[in-house]
Amino acid sequence: MSGRATIKIGEGNKERSLTIKVRDLSKTGMGFLHNEPMETETYFTLCLGGDSSRKRESDICFRVISCRAVGDDCYSIGAKICTAI
């Protein structure tokens, strides 16, 4: 699978939505590209099904496990699915 997706990172008034480029998605995790680095152990929510402004049962929580620069303003990020934040 590849394509664009929306993730939510942060909480409360610090929450923000980011558009990422998904490289691969499996039953245990995902790999994606973004123009900003992410620290390991950062949690985010992959927003499935349209409106990313509210929580949906289909949203999936992930934890960043790796981040490396692959070019100017381009980072390859790996994340594992988690059960709770």
| Gap between the Cα atoms of 51 and 85, Å rounded | 21
Q: Which domain holds residue 73?
A: 3-81
- CB-CB contact of 45 with 7 (8 Å): yes
| Gap between the Cα atoms of 6 and 69, Å rounded | 21
CATH number of the domain enclosing 9? 2.40.10.220
Domains of the chain: total: 1
Longest dimension (CA), the chain: 36
The pTM assigned to this predicted structure is 0.83
Kind of pairing, strands 43-47 and 3-9? antiparallel
Per-residue pLDDT of the chain (85 residues; tens, 9 = 90+): 568 999 999 888 888 999 999 999 999 999 999 999 999 999 999 987 655 555 566 789 999 999 999 999 999 999 999 965 4
